[in-house]
């Protein structure tokens, strides 16, 4: 198997990001964004998607977390777009169901009282569906001044990360909260479900060899 890796260096007036990705990794990571909760979510993503991920982000955190969270999503999406290349031989669709570990169940990730779902298609056509979290987001925005930094990330910024990833990886991504209340559990469940879906979609399907999984013969680009 050829190496599926990417190196992204992205600099703007708001953030400077260095990111290394190895899709066929061991779940190892080193994450430095200056946002502890976000570091935790990205480490979870690497562990459960079984990729190796190294990120260093210096952002204008004195202004807001928004720029760093969104730009890391953008850089990670660019890395997947680069590492997957023509997407020859991949499964393409990730529902979160792994035949090697069928107890996970399709696209669902439980965490205590919370149940989340993520489905991804590396189709070359970016589109994000964000469902079931509008009420939670509104609630936290009204009380944001009383929240700690992690809470401000969980509700106000999680969508920006996924939108940035979706746009740059050029994938169709559906993330959904089926039910749940505790904000940490909600966002952690989303990141873990997302990780499992990405893992499955990027796996090689030995039945199709080096074919592109599309009747068009190509997937974007």
- Between CA 42 and CA 26 the distance in angstroms is 14
**What is the pTM assigned to this prediction?**
0.89
Q: Specify the pLDDT at position 142.
A: 39
- Kindly give the parts of the chain with pLDDT less than 50: 101-106, 138-144
User: Cα–chain-centroid distance for residue 20?
Assistant: 15
Q: What is the dihedral of CA 52, 119, 93, 157, to 10 degrees?
A: -50
Q: Specify the pLDDT at position 138.
A: 47
Per-residue DSSP letter, 217: S
Q: What is the pLDDT of residues 148-170, one digit of tens each?
A: 555 556 676 899 999 999 999 99
Q: Specify the pLDDT at position 146.
A: 55
Which domains, and CATH codes, for the chain? 5-202 (3.30.230.40)
Beta-strand ranges (E) seen in the chain are 5-11, 15-22, 29-32, 52-59, 93-94, 108-111, 114-121, 127-131, 172-179
């Amino acid at each position: 198997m050829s190496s599926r890796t990417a190196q992204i260096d992205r600099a703007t007036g708001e953030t400077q990001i260095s990111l290394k990705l190895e899709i066929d990794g061991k779940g190892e990571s080193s994450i430095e964004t200056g946002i502890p909760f976000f570091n935790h979510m990205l480490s979870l993503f690497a562990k459960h998607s079984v990729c190796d991920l190294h990120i260093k982000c210096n952002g204008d955190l004195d202004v807001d977390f928004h720029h760093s969270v969104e730009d890391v999503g953008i850089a990670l999406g660019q890395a997947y777009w680069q590492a997957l290349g023509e997407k020859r031989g991949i499964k393409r669709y990730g529902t979160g169901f792994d035949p090697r570990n069928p107890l996970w169940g399709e696209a669902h990730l439980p965490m205590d009282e919370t149940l989340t779902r993520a489905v991804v298609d590396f189709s070359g056509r970016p589109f994000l569906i964000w469902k079931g979290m509008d009420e939670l987001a509104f609630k936290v925005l009204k009380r944001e001044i009383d929240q700690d930094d992690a809470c401000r990330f969980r509700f106000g910024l999680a969508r920006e990360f996924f939108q940035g990833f979706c746009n740059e990886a050029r994938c169709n991504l559906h993330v959904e909260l089926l039910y749940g209340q505790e904000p940490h559990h909600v966002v952690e469940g989303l990141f873990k479900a997302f990780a499992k879906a990405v893992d499955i979609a990027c796996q090689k399907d030995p039945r199709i060899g080096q074919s592109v999984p599309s009747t068009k013969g190509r997937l974007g680009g």
